[in-house]
Copies of this chain bind each other. A is one copy, B any other.
Amino acid sequence: MTSERETVAIIGLGLIGGSIARDLAAQGMRIAGYDTDPAALDQACEDGIVEDRLEPSLAGVEGADTVILAVPVSATRSVLRVASQRLTGPRLVTDVGSTKRNAVASAAEFGLGEHFVGSHPMAGGHRSGWRAAGTGLFRGARTYLCPTPSTGAEALSRATALWSSLGAHTEVIDAGAHDERVAFTSHLPHAVSSALAVALAKANCKPDDLGPGGRDMLRIAASSPELWTAIMMDNTDAVRDALAAFGAELERLSETLGTGDRSALQSQLSDAQVWLMDNSKS
């Protein structure tokens, strides 16, 4: 340890990693940071958030109490491999990716099982990069925690404390069950938003033609295609199942319209409204 202050290494200083860095720095922690974009890393240092620059080799990461990977899910495995060669006894290694099965499996494979807890904060936005990062991004957000088969009590407890300190609510869940759930709650909405945008483009509509409801539906389609390609490709089967389930509902709605059965259509629209109303109670 290079400092008596708690040191957190954050690999990846985009919207998520950068926002974690800002919040933890405000808590007084010492932030060691790395980003593949040197300009982002420079800016994070200039902004006074990152105190220690890590090298591409991640030399220096071994001094951190906690290591947080905030990289695209397609990079998680290779970064875990590099980090695992340097880490001797971290208290917690975690990531923030939107898929968890492969991250948890890779951590276990590289000998980090005891110290690893996969994290998935349900927060973000369609902007990305260090400049999009800000404080308080995780306040009130659900954050899934996915242990490996051998995660120790200290790592899980530190992960819970970390996210609680950022204002998030944690929920421990098996990585496989997580990926199936978020296929519906996160990846499906994203895929639907993107497909809707493309359908509107092909129909020669302009974004300005939309009303407020339509605009709400398209916001997430503006998110990074690179990040979302990696996420969906890391959860292909579950996302396709969710798309099929949604497609069946869409088809049912179209068929109801075709029959002209008003009460059946109203019943379908009411089912959606009733389900949403449960939101306000919970």
Chain A residues at the B interface, C-beta cutoff of 8 Å: 122-126, 141-142, 181, 184-186, 188-203, 205-214, 216-226, 228-229, 232-233, 236, 239-240, 242-254, 257-258, 260, 262, 265-266, 268-273, 275-279, 282
Contact = CB atoms under 8 A, between A and B. Distances in A.
A216 B216 contact: yes
Contacts of A250: 191-192, 195, 243, 246-247, 250
Given A191-B253, A240-B258, 4 more contacts: A208-B279, A223-B273, A228-B269, A247-B254
B203 A242 contact: yes
B206 A278 contact: yes
Nearest to A256: B232
A211 B186 contact: yes
Nearest to A208: B282
Contact of A272 (B142, B194, B213): B194
B201 A275 contact: yes
Determine chain A's interface SS by DSSP, over half rule.
Answer: helix
B233 A265 contact: yes
A248 B247 CA distance: 10
Given A207-B275, A236-B258, A253 B194 contact: yes
Nearest to A185: B209
Nearest to A220: B213
A16 to B, nearest CB: 12
Nearest to A221: B272
Given A213-B219, A220-B213, A266 B190 contact: no
Contacts of A219: 213, 216
Contact of A220 (B188, B216, B236, B270): B216
